[in-house]
Structure 1
């Protein structure tokens, strides 16, 4: 595997946008940071299994979308008289999901009104169903399966009597200092190819709302949510720790929306690094299991939908402890 260069060497493609890793593996690479998942990192994950406990990390596909532009799942059953078939119609980003590399580009790059995805793909090509490159089928041929760690931010903040996150505010950001402190206190050791899960408590917060309150949240001028901070220090930390994929229980991993005219984690991670972002994962039971065992590292498996050219996919993820 190509050695991981220092963050200071970015961008790899000097003609490309800031912090890109385009061409690090080869010019035709479609796996991005998933290249860091090796047989060794998978075996390290397997070695964390001591209890034989499996934990579901997926919200129901019927989970009400938190974004007004995304429609809820529709489930139809057709009875032929002697057997049943069913049909599902859903937005792949309405519930727990992996964002693919064709989901979110660098904004207004290389100039105003231009949008550039991983590897330099244009928005015209990324929106063309006849073009399959960089689709989520790459998350199947190279499964997001490895050793993983949970950073349980609400538990950490509560333990230290620190201000809790406001699930519905983008000013409620998880700093690099907090991430590092949680890593140290949890005894987590992050290595190349590992997957990072960050719990914010968003799932509990949204599920405590009535349907009317949820609708009102979606009607706000800005549909804000908490998450990880977005800055160069954060990107460097993710890069140099060799993290292969990230996921959280909030809608965007980072606090959203990001400030206008600034780079976001979505731009740098998806379009720059080729780093999959997971959103709206259900981390409630995993948090309980980790607290009970006082262990925050486990084996993580995910096998998304094998949709060639797909934009996003349900993760079908589980943790095994």
Structure 2
């Protein structure tokens, strides 16, 4: 059943800014808004999340920062120890998207909008402004000032597919995206009741697939002509479902929430969610232990907390995320 948020008009009302790109929600929360869909997370939503805590069990949702990134252009973390003779300091150098991450609102733009060669971010920010390190607007510090913390749900797609003897997901291919019908069927089977301000996690099994690869095989994957990966199907019906359900943030265990790359000239979740709605996208979350706990407790709803790095104007951030049962 679809729940339309009292803070949002229906999907059919999009775009909000009629002069802006397709399906945008620019200006919905005021002209100075920088929090996007995180505005849906009210104190009531947080309380609804804490009400799910019955076991007192905490589950880590982060891969190590030393995880070998799957994106060829993102270098792995480098670590040095500075010894002063009586104490030690860590010095870390890393791409904020080398491991588990939240994409910020300055990460991905509407492609070739309003014209070829133009790239437009949330609220109309252009690529020059979004790339300026001296500008703080739309940075991931908002994920720290207003932590991504609420009730959350896991849609365990590999579990659902195996239960129904359906073909498994191909981790390193975009040929068979997860359709909305499977997401909805999975939610119904595991009694997931999404309410406005909730967070949605989608497990694909990508983490297990990449962890099973040798270092040489991982390097080979990076050198493919197309760096394909699994994910949900970016479609207008999927966008409508996420909007009308009032989902405040999404995350998955694959490199991109949607299959990547998307078809040419087709809107991606990255364009609509990040640049259109200000909806955070989490990638490469470690959902393995979470899946086990959900099966053990026979519930796929829990309290979710995430406090990103307080980097003013930051592009992305490790989530420091956990689920609490």
Q: TM-score range by the shorter chain?
A: over 0.9
- 1:28 equivalent to 2:32? Answer yes
Equivalent of residue 277 in structure 1, options 270, 281, 284: 281
How many residue pairs get matched? 321
- 1:280-299 superposed matches below 5 A: 280-299=284-303
For 2:197, the equivalent position in structure 1 comes to 193
- 1:166 equivalent to 2:166? Answer no
Q: CA deviation at 1:3?
A: 2.5
Q: 2:7, 2:40 within 8 Å by CA — same for their partners in 1?
A: no
Q: CA deviation at 1:171?
A: 1.1
- Structure 2 Cα separation of the partners of residues 109 and 184 of structure 1: 37
Equivalent of residue 308 in structure 2, options 304, 308, 320: 304
Equivalent of residue 225 in structure 2, options 204, 221, 231: 221
Equivalent of residue 143 in structure 1, options 143, 147, 157: 147
- 1:66-85 superposed matches below 5 A: 66-85=70-89
Equivalent of residue 161 in structure 2, options 157, 162, 167: 157
CA RMSD in angstroms, aligned pairs only: 0.8
Q: CA deviation at 1:261?
A: 1.4
- Structure 2 Cα separation of the partners of residues 237 and 223 of structure 1: 28
Q: CA deviation at 1:147?
A: 0.1
Q: 1:150, 1:196 within 8 Å by CA — same for their partners in 2?
A: yes
- Structure 2 Cα separation of the partners of residues 136 and 281 of structure 1: 17
Moved over 4 A (4+): none
Q: TM (normalized to structure 2)?
A: 0.98
For 1:114, the equivalent position in structure 2 comes to 118
For 1:238, the equivalent position in structure 2 comes to 242
Q: 1:200, 1:226 within 8 Å by CA — same for their partners in 2?
A: yes
- Structure 2 Cα separation of the partners of residues 30 and 2 of structure 1: 19
For 1:265, the equivalent position in structure 2 comes to 269
Which consecutive residues of structure 1, in runs of 5 or more, have no partner in the other structure?
Answer: none
For 2:212, the equivalent position in structure 1 comes to 208
For 1:100, the equivalent position in structure 2 comes to 104
Q: CA deviation at 1:110?
A: 0.2
Q: 2:104, 2:314 within 8 Å by CA — same for their partners in 1?
A: yes
CA deviations on 1:138-183 (whole Å, 9 max, x unpaired) are 1111110000000000000000000000000011211000000000
Q: CA deviation at 1:2?
A: 6.7
